[in-house]
Amino acid sequence: MIGQQGVIQMPNNNFFANREGLRAKHVILHGTAGGSSAQNIASYFAQTQGTNNPVSSHYVVGQDGTIVQCVSESDGAWANGILTAGHASFWDTSINPNNTTISIEHVKSATDNSNALTPAQQAASFKLIADICDRWQIPKRAADGSGGITGHFSLDPVNRSNCPGPYNWNALWAYLNGQSTTPPQEENIMIELSTPGVSQFWAPSADGYWRCIAPGHDHRVGGDILSFYKRFGNSGLCGLTYLGLPLTDEFVPKSGTSAQFFEHGVVVRDPNRVIDRPAGLLSTEHCYLAHLDSGFAQVLVSQPLTTPLNGKIKSLEAQLSAAQNTGGDPAEIAALQAQIAAHQATITTLQAQAVASAAKIQQAIALLQK
Ligand SMILES: [Zn+2]
């Protein structure tokens, strides 16, 4: 197949051979509106061969940055369907656009394509687009009649207005402009269950969750927190390296948020910034690490230590109020007050010094939920 070097090849027969004599001059970006990996999407394309709705694209870019090529760039992949009302005016309605375009699918799990690209996926997509443009002398800019890059929405605004969905076009243009003089972008690292070293600790679970299989850590991680865990740290084994194993399941510290304790930190999922607003947090990032010196994480971590003291304070307060009501000995009253103050000071100290452990946190969450 003519195309990108070093990518996985999973060819299918859903294409117009040799573009029926035409030449590629546009790159069309798509979102898969479902699916989990580039390989799965490529398998799906192959399964549609010979059916009533055979489809394909030249490339599929996975959320982990994996690129699979399914159709040679010299052939016309069946990716773009038909032009519909409201399409960009430069499309020539007398020509099947599949014969003049190179299509790139981006794996997005949401059926409305609402996912942003992962950093690894974006880096792979940008490089692939730049290389395609170089191979076919396609202008590295927004599409017009003479060529360029656009989304499926440009051809089929009736049915594909959200294809590819969120895509960082401004960053793409900046990348393509600087690309002739700037070496390739920084690497973005993301772990998957297939990443060597990960499956010792994690196994797949329902709904795309991971279940920790290490003894004593039988908890699940999913959704935004899993996405955060896969990327956190951007080196080594990301979340497995820097956050470690889960100590709890996901729970709700505050309405509209959730959180999860790991051995090395507490992840908060807070898309609306109800709990905190860390400096520099990207608007597309739903998760961050919890404060340990204040707030729910500090209270939860320290609660197994502070609960007995709070019990003592309650009993001392009862004695104090009894002594005050009966006109008790002023020295006795002062001594009770001093004991209460001392316990309160100890609580403050314990909260500041609290050290997380699985058993303590589990007890604390049980207490919180009572
Ligand atoms: Zn599409």
pLDDT of residue 217: 95
Q: Domain residues of the chain, as ranges?
A: 8-178, 202-290, 296-368
Measured in Å, residue 36 CA sits from the centre of ligand 1 at 16
Give the H or E element holding residue 68: strand 67-69
Instruction: State in Å: Cα 164 to ligand 1 middle.
Output: 6
Apex CA 186: angle with CA 180 and CA 190, to 5°?
A: 140
Please tell me the distance between residue 64's alpha carbon and the centre of ligand 1 in angstroms: 20
Q: What is the pLDDT along the chain (370 residues), one digit of tens a residue?
A: 999 999 999 999 999 999 999 999 999 999 999 999 999 999 999 999 999 999 999 999 999 999 999 999 999 999 998 899 999 999 999 999 999 999 999 999 999 999 999 999 999 999 999 999 999 999 999 999 999 999 999 999 999 999 999 999 999 999 998 865 444 556 788 999 998 899 999 999 998 999 999 999 999 999 999 999 999 999 889 999 999 999 999 999 899 999 999 999 999 999 999 999 998 888 889 999 999 888 888 888 877 777 888 888 888 888 888 877 877 788 888 888 898 898 888 877 777 666 545 556 666 666 666 5
Q: Ligand 1 centre and the CA of 38: distance in Å?
A: 15
Distance from the alpha carbon of residue 286 to the mean position of ligand 1, in angstroms:
26
Topology of domain 8-178, CATH: Lysozyme-like (3.40.80)
What spacing in Å lies between the alpha carbon of 102 and ligand 1's midpoint? 12
- 57 CA distance to ligand 1 centroid (A)? 9
**68 Cβ contact list (under 8 Å, min separation 6):** 7, 8, 9, 10, 38, 39, 41, 42, 59, 60, 62
How much is the pLDDT for 301? 80
Q: State the distance from the centre of ligand 1 to the C-alpha of 26, rounded, in angstroms.
A: 14
Would you state the structure tokens that stand for residue 259, as one six-digit string?
Answer: 């959180």
Give the relative orientation of helices 295-325 and 358-368 as an angle to the nearest 10 degrees.
60
Query: In this structure, how many other beta carbons lie within 10 angstroms of the beta carbon of residue 61?
Result: 32
Q: In angstroms, what is the span from residue 155 Cα to ligand 1's centroid?
A: 9
SS3 for 266?
A: strand
Cα of 284 vs centre of ligand 1, distance in Å, is 23
| Pick from 147, 127, 118, 116: nearest CA to 23 | 147
Residue 257 is classified by DSSP as: -
ipTM: 0.98
Cβ within 8 Å of residue 322, ≥6 positions away? 328
CA dihedral defined by 284, 289, 294, 299, rounded to 10 degrees? 120
CA of 16 to the centre of ligand 1 (A): 18
CA of 154 to the centre of ligand 1 (A): 10
Output the pLDDT for position 226: 97
